[in-house]
Structure 1
């Protein structure tokens, strides 16, 4: 999961599905083998035994946008807000290019499996790929096109604003892997965890909280996690306006890793040495896991205490669950992805505030969950150029602005130039026609290099993620002490990393 709001699939999947896994082969073994195949440069040979595919036709025209008119492309994506917005308004792209795009939206795990199978097949059922940095880009980067080659191709439209228009931390985290000189995906969405709070209740009880707690409870750059916990307990004990002070996405699921990571990083802990580099540029060899450190144990102990006073249903919630609970008036505040602001404002307009997450002993850290879109390296030359047209259009400032306004989906821009538009700046204050922009100040702080939280971008991350949230769940159930849970997680991750990705 990249952190964006889930939505149901809007289009039927085109064509036949990929070949099934061999009987007796586990999904993990299959994907590891496919990663090796993709890594070996399997971009032309068809393992499936099918005849060689034909390239799409290229018309002789003076309009570079129309040279592949009549082509059909397939875009496979997680069911995210930007894709929902694009799916609802594809007509401008088709009118511009004459290209039809089928959009397949899936849950991320299913997407990863289909992408892996497609890359290993040597052909490209899906020309355009939602390249989750951790589950697609890191393990399969050699199966993706280096987009700088297409950006330099004078026969196709250029990338509006160039690579430099993308927010730098996002371009590296969502678009690159190990090699700074290659770009495998263009930043497409940017969900980031921030502090959502009931501003109406904070305002109502401000003086009483200040007197009782001995500090200003208004969320600010100086607010600490200890103060956050104290505010949560105050709401539990001192008011009947709302059942619980805080709620969390602490289900035994990827969401639990996301929620805990904010605290881990703020305490100075990390999953590996050089955590920022491992999270931004990525690596195939991250070294030994550092969850056995004192900082990680302290972070886990605090998180355990925090959850003990949170809404007990937190252990059943992912990001959607905690978002729904917040909108239903069960909790006064929560950490959640910033793109839930649109739903908040639709349900309780004017009652919600947004801030950067609290700081720990080391720093404030807000988990970034953004993803890019890339092009399969199995595509043939003209098909690849046609896919480039969609990739350029889908991430263009004009399209990102339209997505921001869309009632069908949304998301927030990944380009600096969009945030500088007068109408977008105006939308940062209520009344806002673009409610996600109400989080602008919070995410602007969160995306700064000192504050951005980046999980490890390594090929074996999916297994590591499972180990993390499994042990955290044991801790929250009382089956493991915080330090023990961290040590056991570190041991498990070390075994995963030592085994490597390709056997």
Structure 2
């Protein structure tokens, strides 16, 4: 069974400003350490730390992701360890964000544990979540195995922090999933045609750290023109949708383009004031021009596909390669066993960049203190090395570890080679390369990103349809983004 993917679907505007105004009127977001509307957790001070909250039921709201599917399928180890039961509600991301916003605005504290998407949940509602350092430092509570330092540093920042100054030190979520865009290619067809392609193209076509986006384009053209094994060389997630922003961003960053002046910090730690958009810059225009050329030779279905569509097209044998989230490795192996390779995305004039789409899990500050402590036990267990290793091997899950120590486990290391009982690990080398600080692609972590995202993919859709020039598309997107940012988060 294919694992659910940690994808990023589009969302309708959530009316967050109105929600926040309502929350301010009720005090729900003014002081989120208030007890909320639910009873506190069961508590036995004489029990050992993992059993003190036995009899409690926690509510966890999550996107329908791979790690949550694995955990939901086997919660018994946690309940046996703690005596705590967990009710899991899974939703599409847009519905999740709206549900969380309403819960916080009401002050009811229905959800103890929240899948805190960095852009749609964490950035807009950072004050709603507990600083996890207080639990890690509490001698009465179990500590994280390996501590915070065992989490991959870019993940801990991108998925777990938000803000500037003292706020940037807070850890609001533990890295929980880590989908990352990599180059997925038909290794069997590349091997079959390697010599012919090299002779025709004048370079080795096998993906490497030196492969450029222009070479990717040339390889795609070669498959279009020189073989009948596939109809097209490349496919893309270029529907008017969040997926289009993700697909384009890899090229934007590779060409040296940026969304905002301090893109690295804005992507990694977040801010409420990112400054003016840099999408009018020559680097962004050059990236848009290349992307338009690339889509002109791609499978025409690309204009109707999000990540699921391009993944299905790839597995159906329509094209030879594509950029996509690495966790499609599990389903690739079911349909094309042994035929798919994975590599870091090509480089442009500036660098290689692969979009990171990870998310953390957080504890709501709207629930009473003992419930927060019980929730800490769940966060601790759900992100523990042994749990992450078990998720990799789950028949219904398959999420990718966010802890350094898991990648050193002997069976996890062995799973990077076929035959693999953990098929997502077949993409691990490419993913680790993409996570390097110089390669990771981090979209802006700002409270108003959902609106900015919509503005961008709307203009990109005009670009790939041929209705806007690269300069016009980038300028129009920048103009709209600047208006959104200038308006701010709450009117």
Q: Same fold (TM over 0.5)?
A: yes
SS of 1:437's equivalent in the other structure is helix
* Counterpart for residue 66 of structure 1: 51
Match of 1:109 in 2: 94
Q: What secondary structure is seen at the aligned counterpart in 1 of 2:61?
A: strand
Return the alpha-carbon distance in structure 1 between the equivalents of residues 184 and 459 of structure 2.
Answer: 27
Are residue 261 (structure 1) and residue 246 (structure 2) matched? no
Q: CA separation in 1, counterparts of 2:136 and 2:160?
A: 14
Cα distance 1:370–1:6, how it changes in 2: closer, same or farther (>3 A)? closer
User: How do 1:328-339 and structure 2 match up within 5 A?
Assistant: 328-339=316-327
SS of 2:182's partner is strand
CA distance 1:34–1:376, change in 2 (3 Å): farther
| Separation in 2, partners of 1:293, 1:123 | 46
Q: Is the 8 A contact 1:250 1:314 kept in 2?
A: yes
CA distance in 2, matches of 1:6, 1:493: 26
Provide the aligned length of Structure 1 versus Structure 2: 479
Q: Distance in 1 between matches of 2:272 and 2:64?
A: 28
Alignment of 1:178-193 (within 5 A): 178=163, 179-193=167-181
Q: CA deviation at 1:57?
A: 1.9
Q: Could you tell me the TM-score, scaled by structure 2's length?
A: 0.95
Relative to structure 1, the CA distance from residue 35 to residue 221 in structure 2 (aligned partners, 3 Å threshold; closer, same or farther) is: farther
Do 1:194 and 1:356's aligned partners in 2 also have CA atoms closer than 8 Å? yes
What whole-Å deviation, never above 9, does each CA across 1:51-93 have from its counterpart, x for those lacking one? Answer: x543122024332111111111110000101100111111111
Stretch of structure 1 that moved more, 164-173 or 149-158: 149-158
1:444-463 CA distance string (max 9 Å, x none): 11001000000000000000
- Distance, in Å, in 1 between the alignment partners of 2:23 and 2:159 is 19
- Aligned mate of 2:371, from 383, 406, 429: 383
TM superposition shift of 1:26 = 7.2
Q: Give a deviation string over 1:135-160, Cα, whole Å, max 9, x none.
A: 11101010000000111111111111
Partner of 1:27 in structure 2?
15
1:433 to 407, 413, 421: 421
SS in 1 for 2:59: strand
Contact 1:44 1:123 in 2 (8 A): no
Instruction: Establish whether residue 54 from structure 1 lines up as the match of residue 44 from structure 2.
Output: no
Change (3 A) 1:430 1:103: same
TM (normalized to structure 1)? 0.93
Which residue matches 1:156? 141
- What does residue range 238-317 of structure 1 map to in structure 2 within 5 Å? 238-317=226-305
Q: In structure 2, how many angstroms separate the alpha carbons of the residues matched to 1:362 and 1:181?
A: 30
Alignment of 1:303-382 (within 5 A): 303-382=291-370
Q: Indicate how the Cα distance of structure 1 residues 42 and 421 shifts in structure 2: closer, same or farther if over 3 A, else same.
A: closer
**Structure 2 CA distance, aligned partners of 1:154 and 1:42?**
24
> Is the aligned partner of 1:405 residue 2:393?
yes
Q: Secondary structure at the match of 2:155?
A: helix
**Counterpart pick for 1:89 among 59, 74, 78:** 74
Is the contact between residue 35 and residue 368 of structure 2 (CA under 8 Å) also seen in structure 1? no
- Aligned with 2:60: secondary structure? strand
Q: Which residue of the partner structure matches residue 420 of structure 1?
A: 408
Contact in 1 for aligned 2:38/2:109 (Cα 8 Å): no
CA contact (8 A) 1:32 1:501 kept: no
> 454, 457, 468: which is aligned to 2:456?
468
1:30-45 alignment to 2 at 5 Å? Answer: 30-33=18-21, 40-44=30-34
C-alpha separation between the residues in 1 aligned to 2:267 and 2:28?
A: 22
- 1:497 alignment partner, one of 472, 485, 489: 485
1:485 aligns with 2:473: yes
Shift of 1:122: 1.7
* 1:361-402, Cα deviation, whole Å (9 max, x unpaired): 000000000000000001111111111110100000010000
Counterpart for residue 10 of structure 2? none
Q: What is residue 16 of structure 1 aligned with on the other side?
A: none
| Deviation string, structure 1 residues 400-449 (Cα, Å, up to 9, x no partner) | 00000001011110000000111111111111111111111111110010
438-447 or 452-461, which deviates more? 438-447
Q: Secondary structure at the match of 1:103?
A: strand
For the 8 Å contact 1:43–1:122, the answer to whether it is kept is no
Relative to structure 1, is the Cα distance of residues 391 and 298 closer, same or farther in structure 2, using a 3 angstrom cutoff? same
